Amino acid sequence: MDRLQAIERLFAPRSVAIVGASRTIGKWGFTFALHLTQGGYKGAVYPVNPAGGRLLDHKIYRSLEELPGPVDLAFILIPPEQVAGAVKECGRIGVPVAVVITAGFKEIGAEGRAMELEVVQAAEEAGVALVGPNCAGVTSPEPMRLYCMMQPTFPPAGGIAIVSQSGNLIGSIQHMLWKQDLGVSRSVSVGNQALLQVEDFLEYLITDDKTRVVVTYIEGVSSGPRFMDVARRLCRVKPLLVIKGGQTESGVRAAKSHTGAIAGSGAVFQALCRQVGAILVDDVEDMLDTAVALMAQPLPRGNRVGIVANGGGWGVLIADACVKAGLNVVELPEEVLSALDERLPAWWNRQNPVDLVAGMSRGAFFKSMEILLRAEVIDSLIALGFGYAHGNAHVFDGLTDEDLPGVSEYKAGTLYSDQRGMKFVLDLIRDYKKPVLLSSEFIVGADRDRNEPVLTLRKQNLLIYPSSRRTAQVLARLTRYGAWRMAQEA
């Protein structure tokens, strides 16, 4: 079985063994079994511990040899000096791939390095593909609901794959996606990469049909040319977002004690990413903002952005943010101005951003969006203020038609226009094949979960950004990647 076949098995195991299972709450040997179970894993679960007994609803087997059926995937959570032996045993009973969670190898120095070498030799001799050691586990919602990680995060199935040199960051990213009902295809914490490496997983993801966007956290790469080759091939078919840990001296020092990676210079890595088409982002928030947008949006064919604002400051700030991000807040040609003139009152501002001041109808707002999107001169659109009616509906709380004749009809009407607006955005993206980004304050805070249109859009991977900077930067990243893809196809 080659590496890619082993990875395929890793993400679709029909049975999982937990070597070093424990009945003690709080121990990793307990936690992994718990997460696997609570995640709803569909295959057979085999906890293994010489002590035997039961764990959750599973029988604990005393050794791998005792297991009643074949094992596709073994998680190994026993002390480092016992890991090589367990890997050999995996080989004997035909386990194709093992994830070694145990730490205390290369990252702790010479002694650990020697033990890691021993584990690798055991794996190679036994024909077992190895993830880790010193890693946080794996997620693969389809086909088996495999959630087997340190962190109890259970995002639904989706199109985003995560490959990370930090287990905690996978936990963070999965948590942030999950809590917004956004999905994951595969996650893997690569740990010390003793055998399987970031590049192997990226290569697998090129043809993985569950994955549409790949995000990766990297502190260092062991082979620059291989990374570049794989990244370039990946970027030709789906976007790759990279967070590079260790871009400054302090970050590099921290990375060295974390994964032992000799982190390269930030500037060199940036140039490298640009060359292969990868999208470099600074932190988890920027990564998610961008990854989710890439799930929903077509790539812009140029950097000319149209903006529709619902009055005042936001339009100005978005225009500033777009220019700073390298986008062109294009001046509108006469034919577009005329088309807008026909739909808008005489006093509209006749420029981009189109500023539909407070009080203008939602119909005019939607119409302006469509006129801009239809224009040849516009490659992408930013619309402000979405979620308005739902965000403000609370003001009618406690008022009945008796107190205020017509209030229920009025409220229903505005809420309907919000719902219609959300559907309209989805239709626009589909019909004009240009990205439409939304920016608004109405997703901040508790009430967003009562804001149905916001939830409707989110289920379609359309986020609303509460920041002009974030909106503009996401669009700029889509635009740069779109330009790279066009250059590759030319």
Q: State the pairing for strand pair 137-140/146-149.
A: antiparallel
Least distance to a copy of itself from the beta carbon of 164, Å?
7
Give 72 or 102: the residue with its C-beta nearer to a copy of itself.
102
399 phi, psi to nearest 5 deg: -100, 125
* Residues sharing a CB contact under 8 Å with residue 406, sequence separation 6 or more, in sequence order: none
Give 115 or 150: the residue with its C-beta nearer to a copy of itself.
150
Least distance to a copy of itself from the beta carbon of 410, Å?
5
| 389, 415 Cβ separation under 8 angstroms | yes
Rounded Cα gap, residues 272 and 264, in angstroms = 11
Specify burial of residue 398 (Cβ count, 10 A radius: 0-12, 13-18, 19+).
exposed
In single-letter form, the type of residue at position 418 comes to D
Least distance to a copy of itself from the beta carbon of 196, Å?
19
Give 93 or 407: the residue with its C-beta nearer to a copy of itself.
407
Give 25 or 487: the residue with its C-beta nearer to a copy of itself.
25
Rounded Cα gap, residues 307 and 320, in angstroms = 12
Least distance to a copy of itself from the beta carbon of 314, Å?
6
Give 42 or 350: the residue with its C-beta nearer to a copy of itself.
350
Least distance to a copy of itself from the beta carbon of 358, Å?
6
Give 165 or 297: the residue with its C-beta nearer to a copy of itself.
165
DSSP state of 450: G
Q: Which one, of 464, 367, 475, 390, lies nearest residue 354 by Cα?
A: 367
DSSP state of 330: P
Beta bridge partners of 17: 46, 74
Rounded Cα gap, residues 350 and 344, in angstroms = 10
Q: Which one, of 130, 128, 135, lies nearest residue 101 by Cα?
A: 135
Least distance to a copy of itself from the beta carbon of 309, Å?
8
Give 302 or 311: the residue with its C-beta nearer to a copy of itself.
311
Least distance to a copy of itself from the beta carbon of 224, Å?
20
Q: Residue 203 in 3-state DSSP?
A: helix
Give 410 or 416: the residue with its C-beta nearer to a copy of itself.
410
Evaluate the omega torsion of the peptide bond into residue 435 and state whether it is cis, within 30 degrees of 0. no
Least distance to a copy of itself from the beta carbon of 417, Å?
12
